[in-house]
């Protein structure tokens, strides 16, 4: 679609690990009103986000209790939007059309956020950052740049999590495996050893969504798109190599999709004790602790492929919508949640990893060694993102092609060619 | 007196319907400014593989579900029109799915159809290794058909029951005197005299199945998968408009679905809609 074209900036920093420094000086032209209402006049603002699991809503509610103590005149209505897949953004879209979007929303990096930024549905935060001396230097530029476009900052990254390898320590011990796999060859060998189809136990269980296999492309030295996101690189020899390795794990029977064991997602299969390993993010830890407390597990960095052991990371930001009637109060909430102390509090609830570099050395992580694999993965990860207009492509086309490949209905190479052609077609129609 | 009704009709039914026709000629993402694109949305849709998959899924769903649910409903209605013990309980049991929310039923059936769910557990008892119903493209839509037939048959059973009870008993008595056996009484009296009821059941069935959305949406997690095997036309409309922000495509499919539904209704009307003669 024509209207969605010309917006690549949000994605620009994502794939280049060496993002440009953020230039504050360029931001002063922002016109957002900073004329504050008489303070202490009671206002109500709404906060909406998706929930990675019911645990997230509980933890955030807990954190918000502290905010209402500090700012008794700002009442925060927390209204999580439930549902799977792109449901969150579908709901937000309708709220934007109605001119009734929540004041503060979660902004993600892979879906339609870039569209929301492109259409000015989010307000630039530069003037608020400036007027309240909110320091953004501490944020990983790879996270912050996802929510930045043309010098304007549309979201303050609240947390992130890379995908790391979760492994069932009891199953590993039983199979006589002393340490998690560190190479592709070990991953395949361990997965084979741990698989027992008659017990419905598999070495690795993950769905075949793009973020669960793209890392293998990077690890082989390939990738999904070039760094400026103007071209797909799915059919490069390195990409084909990484993808074929992933598909072969499934074709050989050491890996399978969650529905094979009656689960809806990989983390659930892992909790049920049906998967010895799963690629997942920090959000799995509180889920397992609450839902499957008897599972013994640990995390490790992803095994290395021929090139590296890169993973994907998923930064999420807080943004303020154009429909907000109380942007100043909304900013108070955003800055409360993402400040040094706010993020420290949030990190201690154990759902995700920080987007502030200074918090990586939090004592919390020493006390919770299970997060070590995720923390060690963080420097070796790429923020997951797509240009605007790719939701259908990434959520269905890429899943379908990979399903066909693991079911041996087409070769990995053919699946990649089909995705490459489909992706290029969208790119050219976006620019046309 | 009719003015409020007309207003409501226009505001909530006709108005949005006309708006869909209007939108099918525009490109709009809900968030940006719409612009006129003529018939190019239709050109895109007719060339789209996904659209034809949805047409095939919707049509096969209607072709299998409507006759099956009509026959099942008629069969149960005739059965429960007899003097059976616990007749009231059985009527309630069959009608129960119709008053439950289809979302709740879909979630219950997700567990029934789970790889290790009740259905495969029962099949295992008789030595059948059940498939992964909802994850297998060969079975996913059929699973929804079975669920849909189970859900709607009870409702149409009640409709048939009322139709059966409107047939005067003396016709049956006269036929019996003339020596008609029970099959003849059923096929020569019940079936023809039920024609207005059957007409209603088939029309509602056709419209309902062509509009099937919620069950596919819930059982596939909103994706219409696996491999688009449960993508129906209405699910496709939803995805285009709300998930992918392509309102024009969604509206174009809506217009096409309107045409399909109208044609199907006209055909049924020709076939069953004639007034009956005693």
A209 lies within 8 A of chain B by CB: no
Determine, yes or no, domain membership for B34: no
- Regarding whether A107 and A47 lie in a shared domain, the answer is yes
Cross-chain CB nearest to A93 (options B31, B225, B226): B31
Assign A39 a pLDDT band (cuts: 50, 70, 90).
low
Determine, yes or no, domain membership for B5: no
Mean of the per-residue pLDDT values for chain A? 87
Q: How many other β-carbons are positioned within 10 Å of the β-carbon of residue A120?
A: 13
**How does strand B35-36 pair with strand B26-27?**
antiparallel
Q: Which residues of B touch A90 (CB under 8 A)?
A: 242-243
- Regarding whether A106 and A221 lie in a shared domain, the answer is no
Determine, yes or no, domain membership for B22: no
pLDDT in tens, A252-278: 999 999 999 989 899 999 999 999 999
Q: Are B116 and A262 a contacting pair at CB < 8 A?
A: yes
Percentage, residues of chain A above pLDDT 70: 89
- The minimum CA-CA distance between A399 and chain B, rounded to whole Å, is 8
Residue of A nearest to B227 (CA): A400
| Residue-level pLDDT at A292 | 95
Q: Which residues of B touch A198 (CB under 8 A)?
A: none
Q: Say which CATH number the domain at B131 has.
A: 1.10.3720.10
Pairs of residues, one from chain A and one from chain B, whose beta carbons lie less than 8 Å apart: 80
Q: Which residues of A touch B223 (CB under 8 A)?
A: 85, 395-396, 399
Give mean pLDDT, residues B138-155: 94
Examine the pLDDT at A423 and tell me if it is beyond 90.
Answer: yes
Q: How many other β-carbons are positioned within 10 Å of the β-carbon of residue B177?
A: 8
Give mean pLDDT, residues B170-177: 91
- Regarding whether A367 and A306 lie in a shared domain, the answer is no
Examine the pLDDT at B140 and tell me if it is beyond 90.
Answer: yes
Q: Are A1 and B117 a contacting pair at CB < 8 A?
A: no
Percentage, residues of chain B above pLDDT 70: 98
Examine the pLDDT at A16 and tell me if it is beyond 60.
Answer: no
- Regarding whether A244 and A231 lie in a shared domain, the answer is yes
Cross-chain CB nearest to A259 (options B115, B242, B243): B115
Examine the pLDDT at A5 and tell me if it is beyond 50.
Answer: no
| Residue-level pLDDT at A111 | 65
Using CA atoms of A228, A229, A234, A237 in order, give the dihedral in degrees to the nearest 10.
Answer: -10
Cross-chain CB nearest to A90 (options B32, B227, B242): B242
pLDDT in tens, A211-256: 999 999 999 999 999 988 899 999 999 999 999 999 999 999 999 9
**H helix or E strand, kind and range, residue A316:** strand A316-320
User: What's the structural domain count of chain B?
Assistant: 1
| Residue-level pLDDT at A119 | 80
pLDDT in tens, A291-310: 999 999 999 999 999 999 99
Q: Are B223 and A392 a contacting pair at CB < 8 A?
A: no
- Domain hosting residue A69, numbered range: 2-161+314-383
Sheet of strand A104-107: strand arrangement: A74-78, A43-48, A104-107, A316-320, A156-159
Q: Say which CATH number the domain at A100 has.
A: 3.40.190.10
| Residue-level pLDDT at B199 | 93
pLDDT in tens, A387-399: 888 888 988 899 9
Examine the pLDDT at A206 and tell me if it is beyond 50.
Answer: yes
Q: Which residues of B touch A392 (CB under 8 A)?
A: 239, 243-244
| Residue-level pLDDT at B278 | 54
- Regarding whether A422 and A412 lie in a shared domain, the answer is yes
- Regarding whether A403 and A254 lie in a shared domain, the answer is yes
Examine the pLDDT at B269 and tell me if it is beyond 70.
Answer: yes
| Residue-level pLDDT at A13 | 33
Helices (runs of H) and strands (runs of E) counted in chain A: 19, 14
Q: Which residues of A touch B29 (CB under 8 A)?
A: 1, 3-4, 115, 119
**Rounded to the nearest 10 degrees, what angle do helices B49-80 and B247-272 cross at?**
40
Examine the pLDDT at A83 and tell me if it is beyond 90.
Answer: no
- Regarding whether A411 and A268 lie in a shared domain, the answer is yes
| Residue-level pLDDT at A24 | 35
A215 lies within 8 A of chain B by CB: no
Give mean pLDDT, residues B59-79: 95
How far, in Å, CA of B61 to CA of A371, rounded? 48
φ and ψ at B178, to 5 degrees?
-80, 0
Q: Are A399 and B243 a contacting pair at CB < 8 A?
A: no
Q: Are B135 and A262 a contacting pair at CB < 8 A?
A: no
How far, in Å, CA of A6 to CA of A20, rounded? 20
Q: Are B29 and A89 a contacting pair at CB < 8 A?
A: no
Assign A10 a pLDDT band (cuts: 50, 70, 90).
very low
**Unique residue bearing structure tokens 């899924």:** B57
Greater confidence (A65 vs A118) lies with A65
Q: Are B117 and A262 in contact (CB under 8 A)?
A: yes
**H helix or E strand, kind and range, residue A255:** strand A255-256
* Distances in whole angstroms, Cα of residue B15 to Cα of each of A432, B11, B38: 34, 5, 21
Prior bond of B165 cis (ω within 30°):
no
Q: Which two tokens stand for residue B162?
A: 């009322």
Determine, yes or no, domain membership for B10: no
Assign A27 a pLDDT band (cuts: 50, 70, 90).
very low
Q: Are A93 and B222 a contacting pair at CB < 8 A?
A: no
The last residue of one of the domains, among A367, A383, A399, is A383
| Residue-level pLDDT at B2 | 83
- Regarding whether A271 and A342 lie in a shared domain, the answer is no
ipTM of the prediction: 0.81
A228 lies within 8 A of chain B by CB: no
Residue of B nearest to A83 (CA): B221
DSSP per residue over A259-312, as a string? GGGT-SSHHHHHHTT-EEEEEE-TTHHHHHHHH-TT--EEEEPPPB-SS---EE
**Unique residue bearing structure tokens 């719409």:** B34
Q: Are B246 and A1 a contacting pair at CB < 8 A?
A: yes
Q: Which residues of A touch B35 (CB under 8 A)?
A: 3
| Residue-level pLDDT at B244 | 85
Examine the pLDDT at A97 and tell me if it is beyond 50.
Answer: yes
- Domain hosting residue B170, numbered range: 41-272
Determine, yes or no, domain membership for B211: yes
- Regarding whether A51 and A125 lie in a shared domain, the answer is yes
Residues near B174 by beta carbon (within 8 Å), at least 6 away in sequence: none
User: What's the structural domain count of chain A?
Assistant: 2
- The minimum CA-CA distance between A7 and chain B, rounded to whole Å, is 14
- Regarding whether A123 and A46 lie in a shared domain, the answer is yes
How far, in Å, CA of A410 to CA of A423, rounded? 18
Examine the pLDDT at A109 and tell me if it is beyond 90.
Answer: no
Cross-chain CB nearest to A395 (options B31, B223, B242): B223
A358 lies within 8 A of chain B by CB: no
Determine, yes or no, domain membership for B218: yes
Residue A307 CB-density burial (10 A; 0-12 exposed, 13-18 middle, 19+ buried): middle
Largest CA distance in chain B: 75
| Residue-level pLDDT at A261 | 93
Q: Which residues of A touch B116 (CB under 8 A)?
A: 200, 261-262
Mean of the per-residue pLDDT values for chain B? 91
- Regarding whether A359 and A250 lie in a shared domain, the answer is no
pLDDT in tens, B93-109: 889 888 888 889 999 99
């Amino acid at each position: 679609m024509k209207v969605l074209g010309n917006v690549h900036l949000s994605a620009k920093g994502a794939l280049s690990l060496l993002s440009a420094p953020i230039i504050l000086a360029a931001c002063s032209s922002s016109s957002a009103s900073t004329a504050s209402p008489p303070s202490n006049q009671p206002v109500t603002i709404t906060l909406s986000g998706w929930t990675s699991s019911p645990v997230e809503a509980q933890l955030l509610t807990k954190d918000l209790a502290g905010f209402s103590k500090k700012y008794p005149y700002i009442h925060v209505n927390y209204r999580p939007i439930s549902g799977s897949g792109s449901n969150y953004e579908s709901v937000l879209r309708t709220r934007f059309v109605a001119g009734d979007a929540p004041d503060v929303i979660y902004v993600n990096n892979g879906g339609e956020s870039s569209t929301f930024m492109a259409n000015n549905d989010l307000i630039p935060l530069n003037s608020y950052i400036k007027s309240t001396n909110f320091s953004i230097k501490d944020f990983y530029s790879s996270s912050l740049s996802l929510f930045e476009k043309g010098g304007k900052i549309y979201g303050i990254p609240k947390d992130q999590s890379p995908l790391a390898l979760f492994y069932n320590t009891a199953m590993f011990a039983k199979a006589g495996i002393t340490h998690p796999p560190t190479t592709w060859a070990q991953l395949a060998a361990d997965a084979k050893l741990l698989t027992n189809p008659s017990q419905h136990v598999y070495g690795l269980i993950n769905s075949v969504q793009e973020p669960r296999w793209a890392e293998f492309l990077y690890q082989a030295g390939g990738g999904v798109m070039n760094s400026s996101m103007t071209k797909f690189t799915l059919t490069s020899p390195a990409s084909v190599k990484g993808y074929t390795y992933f598909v072969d794990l499934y074709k050989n029977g050491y890996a399978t999709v969650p529905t094979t064991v009656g689960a809806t997602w990989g983390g659930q299969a892992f909790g049920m004790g049906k998967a010895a390993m799963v690629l997942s993010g920090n959000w799995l830890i509180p889920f397992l602790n609450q839902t499957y407390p008897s599972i013994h597990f640990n995390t490790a960095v992803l095994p290395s492929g021929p090139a590296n052991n890169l993973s994907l990371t998923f930064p999420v930001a807080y943004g303020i919508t154009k429909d907000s009637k109380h942007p100043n109060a909304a900013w108070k909430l955003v800055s409360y949640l993402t400040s040094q102390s706010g993020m420290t509090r949030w990190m201690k609830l154990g759902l995700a990893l920080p987007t502030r570099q200074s918090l990586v050395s939090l004592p919390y992580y020493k006390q919770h060694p299970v997060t070590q694999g995720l923390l060690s993965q963080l420097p070796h990860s790429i923020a997951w993102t797509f240009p605007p207009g790719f939701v259908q492509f990434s959520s269905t086309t890429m899943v379908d092609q990979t399903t066909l490949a693991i079911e041996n209905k087409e070769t990995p190479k053919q699946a990649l060619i089909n995705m490459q052609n489909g992706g290029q077609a969208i790119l050219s129609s976006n620019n046309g | 007196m009719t003015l409020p009704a007309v207003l409501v009709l226009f505001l909530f039914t006709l108005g949005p319907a006309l708006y869909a026709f209007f939108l099918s000629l525009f490109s709009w993402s809900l968030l940006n400014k719409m612009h006129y694109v003529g018939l190019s949305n239709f050109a895109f849709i007719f060339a789209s593989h996904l659209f034809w998959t949805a047409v095939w899924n919707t049509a096969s769903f209607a072709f299998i579900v409507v006759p099956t649910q009509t026959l099942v409903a008629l069969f149960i209605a005739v059965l429960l029109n007899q003097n059976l013990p616990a007749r009231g309980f059985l009527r309630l049991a069959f009608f129960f799915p119709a008053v439950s929310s289809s979302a709740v039923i879909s979630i219950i059936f997700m567990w029934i159809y789970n790889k290790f769910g009740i259905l495969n557990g029962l099949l295992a008892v008789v030595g059948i290794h059940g498939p992964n119903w909802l994850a297998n493209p060969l079975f996913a839509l059929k699973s929804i058909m079975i669920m849909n037939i189970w859900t709607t048959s009870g409702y149409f059973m009640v409709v048939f029951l009322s139709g059966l009870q409107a047939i005067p008993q003396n016709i049956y008595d006269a036929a019996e005197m003339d020596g008609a056996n029970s099959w003849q009484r059923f096929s020569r009296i019940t079936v023809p005299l039920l024609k207005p009821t059957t007409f209603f059941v088939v029309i509602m069935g056709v419209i309902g199945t062509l509009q099937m959305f919620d069950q596919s949406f819930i059982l596939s997690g909103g994706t219409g998968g696996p491999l688009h095997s449960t993508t129906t036309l209405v699910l496709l409309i939803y995805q285009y408009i709300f998930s992918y922000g392509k309102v024009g495509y969604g509206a174009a499919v809506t217009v096409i679905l309107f045409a399909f539904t109208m044609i199907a209704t006209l055909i049924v009307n020709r076939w069953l809609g004639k007034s009956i003669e005693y």
